[in-house]
Structure 1
Amino acid sequence: MSKSESDLKQAAAVEDDDEPDDWDKRIFSTGCAAENTKMNDCYYEKKDWRVCKNELELFRKCWKQQQNDKRTGMKDA
């Protein structure tokens, strides 16, 4: 097997990994994973946070509802 074939197989194994990583675990622990996904998907599609105000607000409301602002020490600017 050549080096490039080995690299391709390794990359495919990483892509097929369905186990949550540390980032996923942190997001799930906030209770706002769905809102986070919608917010990030919006930005990914639009490339402009201003267009994603609704998604940002839903995430912010969820964040406060779950009391993550107290848990993380986050303050409103």
Structure 2
Amino acid sequence: MPSPKADGTPSKRSGPKPKRPTGTPEPTAQRNFTDPESRIMVGRNGFIQACNGQAAVDGKHQIIVAHRC
């Protein structure tokens, strides 16, 4: 981000203008509407739709107290 001038107004950005998305997805783009948090990951038998699960456990009582996918 460009630094502001002495009077507080922002200075002009140098370099080429950023490219804006066209609004259409690329032909190779993929989306999972059932579970948007899951991703395509590499498994033993190739690519699979999966998520990296997280769990918080109470070690003293040996129970799961929170989880997140």
* TM-score bucket of the superposed structures, by smaller chain: under 0.3
Greater strand proportion: 2
**Larger Rg computed on CA atoms:** 2
TM-score, normalised on structure 2? Answer: 0.19
Higher RCO (Cα < 8 Å, 6 or more apart): 1
TM-score, normalised on structure 1? Answer: 0.18
